[in-house]
A and B are shown apart, each in its own frame.
Chain A
Amino acid sequence: MKDLLIAAMKTSISEVLETMFFCPLEFEGPPTGQAEVPDAPLAARLAFTGPLAGVMQLQLSRGLALSLTADFLGVDREAVDDLRIAETVKEMLNMFAGNTFSRFDAGAVFDLGFPAMVGADAPRLATPAENRLAVTGQTLHGPLECELIVERNAWNCTEISAS
């Protein structure tokens, strides 16, 4: 199940970034259970419930976020302020999450919470490494990392009809 979820995350993130942000992305290395946080002052988080429950978190540099926001809105970088960046990052995470779960199991209903920005120095969620999945991608303007944290160990759940 973890492999299917990782694959769904990667495909979703790539599709969202390429389709709506015109940003190609390459994933680095094998998925890890422990997220590596590069210089990433911006982070957004949303909670989800359903067959799996937990949190998805997105981390990226301000420079990358600014570039993605400008491309998303079709405006010059100079026209982008912190508010627009935050709103775009939250929506990006929303699309990552929705797309990931739809790909993972189209037959299941996942409820997504509203994304919120979190401080870069916010305490990490206390979750065993076995319940974390993280993918890191590299773009022309820097890396981004998407982390999935499942609140309870449901990896052995056989109820999900993985697509």
Chain B
Amino acid sequence: MAYNFLIVDDSPPVRTVVRKAIGAAGFAGGEVSEAADGRAALELLKRKWIDLVLTDFNMPVMNGLELIAAMKGDADLGAIPVVVITTEGSEERVRELLRLGAAGIIRKPFTIEQVRSTLFHVLGVPENDEGSLDRGDEDLDF
């Protein structure tokens, strides 16, 4: 099964790294979209089918917290899981993110394995069931 992701971060290099981490984690088959802030993310979410959002916390225009709140308040977007990738580590902020509905938190700096484990958990893919993932061309063997 292929999953479509949306990466939301005001840092282009971070978006690149997260995109690569998604692929390296075994989710190469779906589409990965990007947005530089929460508002752009909301606009994109209205146009595209997204299975999971990975968002930064601290962004201009609309930050991660505001994005989660907006999504949870929308009947069409509320069920989409949101994983926050952030340097934010304060216990209070983490509690706030989870209270608002974040499905997971990945702290920077992160490893591929941490991304993989979180995505598997949030999407409900068994850790030993990588065969069910659509890896796109990765599976082709000539």
B109 A15 Cβ-Cβ under 8 A: yes
Q: How far is the CA of A73 from the CA of B107 in the complex (A)?
A: 18
A109 B16 Cβ-Cβ under 8 A: no
Stretch in contact with the other chain, from A28-36, A98-106, A152-160: A98-106
Q: How far is the CA of A73 from the CA of B60 in the complex (A)?
A: 23
Q: Write the chain A residue with the least CB distance to B109.
A: A19
B137 at the A interface (CB under 8 A)? no
B92 at the A interface (CB under 8 A)? yes
Q: Write the chain A residue with the least CB distance to B56.
A: A94
A91 B13 Cβ-Cβ under 8 A: yes
A19 B111 Cβ-Cβ under 8 A: yes
B90 at the A interface (CB under 8 A)? yes
Stretch in contact with the other chain, from A37-45, A82-90, A121-129, A136-144: A82-90
Count of A interface residues, CB-CB < 8 Å: 28
A27 at the B interface (CB under 8 A)? no
Q: Chain B residues near A20: list those with CB within 8 A.
A: 17, 108-110
Give the bracket for the number of chain B residues in contact with chain A. 20 to 34
Q: How far is the CA of A19 from the CA of B11 in the complex (A)?
A: 18
A69 at the B interface (CB under 8 A)? yes
Q: Chain B residues near A101: list those with CB within 8 A.
A: 89-90
Kindly list the 9 A-B residue pairs having the minimum CB-CB distance in the complex, ordered from nearest: A98-B87, A102-B89, A19-B109, A20-B109, A91-B11, A109-B90, A16-B109, A88-B13, A95-B108
User: Contact residues of B with A, CB < 8 Å?
Assistant: 10-14, 16-17, 20, 58, 60, 86-93, 107-111
A-B contact pairs, 12 of them (CB 8 A): A72-B17, A73-B17, A74-B20, A87-B13, A94-B58, A98-B108, A101-B90, A103-B89, A106-B91, A109-B90, A112-B87, A114-B58
Given pairs A98-B87, A102-B88, A114-B58, 18 additional interface contacts (CB within 8 A) = A16-B108, A20-B109, A72-B13, A72-B17, A74-B17, A84-B12, A87-B12, A91-B13, A94-B11, A95-B87, A97-B87, A99-B108, A101-B89, A102-B87, A102-B90, A106-B90, A109-B93, A114-B10
